[in-house]
Structure 1
Amino acid sequence: MKNLLLTVSSFRKSLSNSYFEVAYNKLISNRSSELSQDEKLYLLKTAIVLLNEADFSLERLGYRIILSYCNAFHNYIPLYDVSLSKGYIPISKFIELNLLNGDKFGNHFFNTLLSSYKENFLQNGIYLSEGQQDLIRFANSNEGDFVLIAPTSYGKSDIIVSKAQNNISKRVCIVVPSKSLLAQTKRRLLKRLSNNASNKLITHPDMYLGNEANFIAILTQERLLRLIQKHPDFTLDLLLVDEAHNLLKGDSRAIFISSGLIHY
């Protein structure tokens, strides 16, 4: 078996050698049964090095090797270990519950300890990743102005809903870029506010009377602008903007709305 070169520069060069290419192509082209034991070990060792690279593309390649290997051979222990080390708690919990042998897994104290550790990431019936949990803690502890930037499906919209829920005694507005997202956010809020039916939920400018001590408004930027134009004395305690990058795209709609909001 060929030795794996561990220095970064020589390792990157080694990725283009024929040994890696042949083994990797077998793995991803439904020819995994042709892999020798040496090739399997080489791929796993390569993946470990890649997963510790600072380059995101190389790290992603390492994760793909592990994922492809586990799916090909129905052996999910490598993916379980990687997901734990990377803080991908939902993946490790799913593997624990569905893809590992219960007798083999449950009879070891260390594995039981790890299973208990993952319960620290359980919130509202959902297991969070370490990154998601850190993001939620940051949002909950920050009372000033801040911006959350995270990948898709990282739970940013849920954080916004939770932030609104935690401020039900205030005048809160959630700005969303589309009516479909407005409806989705409304459903999430109604589910969260089932025990706070007295709190007013506003989704249209005409629903605002002007004498509300507290409310949660969910509005597109157009509806917010119309509300401001109709009620010049309109004030908020907390403004939450979901998908802010989609609000001002530089088109005529964005120019009109931004002009109105800046004037306000």
Structure 2
Amino acid sequence: MQELTIRKLGNTKFKNLYLQFLRGDEMVDSNIVKLLAIAVLLLNHQAPEIKRLGYRIILFYGNITGRYEALYDVALNSGLHPVSAVISKSFPEDDYRSNSFLRNIIGSYIDTFRNQGIVLTEQQDALRTFVQSEYKSSSVVVAPTSYGKSELIIKSVRDNPDKRILILVPSKALLSQTKKRLIDADIDELGKIVTHPEMYSKERNNRAFVLTQERLNRLLNEYPALSFEMVFVDEAHNLLQGDHRSELLATMLCILGARDPETSFKFLTPFLCDELNLRVRYLDMTPKGFRIDEYIKSERFYVQDFRYEKKRRKI
């Protein structure tokens, strides 16, 4: 049997059925059943893009009809426990799942993924375990935006009160945002968060630094003995840009590694093909990688033709 691809799928009758569904056209029940059956087949496929298409159909079906039973089952079997937890609350009281023994078992299982009132996905939970086990080692975390990378930084600061931790961010906007999150986390004895070279003093026990590479450069020039036990590099793919700022960032990492060979570097990025691409020349470091491949968000694309001579259509 030939491997199924998006291109091959587009050459079947599925394409017209799928486009009708996306446009919100009125469809007979038999066609909806066919589409859901195809979605189940796609979800059991090995190719990630095929599985994501199956998930997208199930998700859109729930949003369009308000019936999320299928999405509940898919999310539960895929480890997307936040989705399952939200849907389970919407079951009516007279639904057989509301007070069933099976639902209580499932609810107890989902509760094992709760952390401070937040339900984590299976891979989010695995990511937290990975970061905790690799505090002393350098690592690369490839995870989508808004997947909890900031929470990892906060947890690392909280769990390592005896370490001086640096969070490198590429912009002033992210600097302010990261600082606010650390303050809002209410970490015991955090002290003043250093966000500017002038804020640092040898007499103070500053343990959290949030800086851009330019501000870090000034700080290291002023204090030749300053080093860090743990360094987070947010938006680490900027190292691959090849411009002046990326060169400065790489230089700062080399200096930090030279000042303390035991420094552990944590690279955070939403996309990267190969973790080893982030290896920096003259920095003795081979990071371990952790990649998130869960698909919990689904894109929706709109195409609008505004040309005067064309009839306006939106898909």
TM-score (norm 2): 0.73
2:12 to 3, 11, 17: 17
Report the equivalent of 1:57. Answer: 49
Determine the structure 2 residue equivalent to 1:4.
none
Residue aligning to 2:153: 160
User: Structure 1: which amino acid aligns with 2:29?
Assistant: S
Relative to structure 1, the CA distance from residue 263 to residue 242 in structure 2 (aligned partners, 3 Å threshold; closer, same or farther) is: closer
Describe the superposition over 1:212-262 as per-residue Cα deviations: whole angstroms up to 9, x where unpaired.
Answer: 455111111111111000001112122122221135622233334544654
How big is the shift at 1:140? 0.9
Number of the residue aligned with 1:112: 104
Q: What are the within-5 Å matches in structure 2 for residues 231-250 of structure 1?
A: 231-246=223-238, 249-250=241-242
3-state SS in 2 of match to 1:70: helix
Q: Percent identity over the alignment?
A: 38
Task: Indicate whether 1:124 and 2:119 are aligned.
Answer: no
Q: Which residue of 2 aligns with 1:27?
A: 21
Where do 5+ consecutive residues of structure 1 fail to align? Answer: 1-6
Which residue identity is paired with 1:231?
Answer: Y
SS at match of 2:208: strand
Q: In 1, distance between residues paired with 2:154 and 2:142? A: 16
Q: Describe the shift of the 1:70–1:258 C-alpha distance in structure 2 as closer, same or farther (beyond 3 A).
A: closer
CA distance in 1, matches of 2:132, 2:71: 31
Aligned to 2:165: 172
TM-fit CA distance, 1:161: 1.8
In structure 2, relative to structure 1, the CA distance for the partners of 1:96 and 1:8 (3 Å cut) is farther
- Tell me which amino acid in the other structure corresponds to 2:138: D
Tell me, yes or no, if structure 1 residue 101 matches structure 2 residue 92: yes
Counterpart among 27, 31, 39 of residue 47 in structure 1: 39
For the pair 1:254 / 2:246, whether they are aligned, the reply is yes
Aligned-partner Cα distance in 2 for 1:154–1:212: 34
User: Quick one: distance in 2 between partners of 1:187 and 1:165?
Assistant: 15
Greater RCO (Cα-Cα under 8 Å, separation 6 or more): 2
Higher helix share goes to which structure?
1
Change in Cα spacing, 1:164 to 1:112, as seen in structure 2 (3 Å) is same
User: Residue 176 of structure 1 contacts residue 182 of structure 1 at CA under 8 Å; is this kept in 2?
Assistant: yes
**Equivalent in the alignment of 2:208:** 216
1:190 and 2:183 equivalent?
Answer: yes
8 Å Cα contact 1:26/1:35 also seen in 2: no
Tell me which residue corresponds to 2:302. Answer: none
8 Å contact from structure 1 (residues 170, 237) kept in 2: yes
In angstroms, what is the RMSD of aligned CA positions? 2.3
Q: Quick one: structure 1 residues 64 and 15, their matched pair in 2 at CA, closer, same or farther if it must change by over 3 Å?
A: same
- Distance, in Å, in 1 between the alignment partners of 2:107 and 2:160 is 34
Q: Distance in 2 between matches of 1:10 and 1:219?
A: 47
- Aligned-partner SS, 1:148: strand
Pairwise CA distance, 1:82: 0.4
User: CA, structure 1 residues 8+50, in 2 after alignment: closer, same or farther (shift >3 Å)?
Assistant: farther
CA contact (8 A) 2:169 2:210 kept: yes
User: In structure 2, what is the Cα distance between the partners aligned to 1:177 and 1:11?
Assistant: 38
Q: Unaligned stretches of 5+ in structure 2? A: 257-315
How far is 1:136 from its partner? Answer: 0.8
Pick the aligned partner of 2:77 from 61, 70, 85: 85
Q: What is the identity, as a one-letter code, of the residue corresponding to 2:231?
A: L
Classify the secondary structure of the residue corresponding to 1:210. coil
What is the identity, as a one-letter code, of the residue corresponding to 2:20? K
Q: Tell me what 1:3 maps to.
A: none
SS in 2 for 1:102: coil
Q: Is the Cα contact below 8 Å between 1:205 and 1:224 reproduced in 2? A: yes
Give the secondary-structure state (helix, strand or coil) at the position aligned to 1:174: strand
In 2, are the aligned partners of 1:186 and 1:218 still within 8 Å (CA)?
yes
Contact 2:5–2:50 under 8 Å retained in 1: no
| TM-score scaled by length of structure 1 | 0.86
Separation in structure 2 between the aligned mates of residue 149 and residue 25 of structure 1, nearest angstrom? 32
